[in-house]
């Protein structure tokens, strides 16, 4: 089965960005990270066959200026968008599929590992019981409001803690496995 992982940073109060989408606070904190420390990102990315993200996250990615994803395919989930900007990398495709349908379709392409990114997309995959792993890096700040990583769920989701690592610059990264009910 194709595995779906979340790899994300949040404030201690669980936000992935401010309400307007800005991640100034994350950039400020990232400035404290020593050169060469990538919190396992490169290793994680090398295990991934494709990224799945919502339109909001994708639009934020486009503002970064540099392309962080190399040749890794990106599927942008949107029911509204009919086409992608012309100058976008040809590794990017658009889909209006429901999470379950999408995973099934990408699985048929022999994509074994998907990186699911963005609050609403993570929430819809979690609600559909499709997330296997969550790697969450907690940034030592409280924002008070913003876009939350997690949202409503149809049921409790039981997790298995895999490992945690505290970095000397104050970030704490924890890995969890989602316990799938039999």
Tell me if 13 contacts a copy of itself by CB under 8 A.
yes
Tell me if 124 contacts a copy of itself by CB under 8 A.
no
Tell me if 20 contacts a copy of itself by CB under 8 A.
no
In 43-87, the DSSP E strands lie at 50-54, 74-77
Tell me if 153 contacts a copy of itself by CB under 8 A.
yes
CA distance 83 to 91: 14
Q: Which of 37, 38, 98, 160 binds a copy of itself (CB under 8 A)?
A: 160
Number of residues forming the site for a copy of itself (CB under 8 A): 36
Q: Which residue has the tokens 């690592």?
A: 165
DSSP state of 86: T
Tell me if 100 contacts a copy of itself by CB under 8 A.
no
**CA angle 109-132-167, nearest 5°?**
120
DSSP three-state, residue 178? strand
- Give the footprint of a copy of itself on this chain (CB under 8 A): 12-14, 25, 126, 134, 136, 138, 140-145, 148-161, 163-164, 166, 170-172, 174, 176
């Amino acid at each position: 089965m194709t595995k779906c992982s979340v790899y994300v940073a949040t404030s201690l109060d669980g936000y992935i960005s401010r309400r307007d989408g800005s991640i100034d606070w994350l950039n400020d904190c990232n400035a404290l990270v020593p050169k060469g420390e990538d919190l396992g990102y490169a290793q994680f990315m090398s295990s991934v066959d494709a990224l799945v993200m919502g339109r909001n996250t994708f639009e934020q990615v486009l503002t970064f200026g540099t392309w962080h994803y190399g040749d890794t395919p990106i599927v942008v989930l949107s029911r509204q968008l009919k086409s992608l900007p012309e100058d976008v990398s040809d590794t990017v495709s658009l889909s209006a599929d429901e999470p379950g349908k999408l995973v099934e379709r990408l699985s048929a392409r022999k994509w074994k590992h998907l990186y699911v990114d963005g609050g609403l997309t993570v929430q819809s995959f979690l609600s559909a019981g499709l997330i296997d792993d969550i790697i969450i890096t907690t940034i030592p700040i409280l924002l008070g409001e913003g876009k939350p990583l997690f949202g409503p769920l149809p049921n409790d989701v039981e997790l298995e803690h895999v490992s945690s690592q505290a970095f000397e610059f104050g970030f704490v990264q924890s890995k969890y496995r989602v316990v799938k009910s039999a």
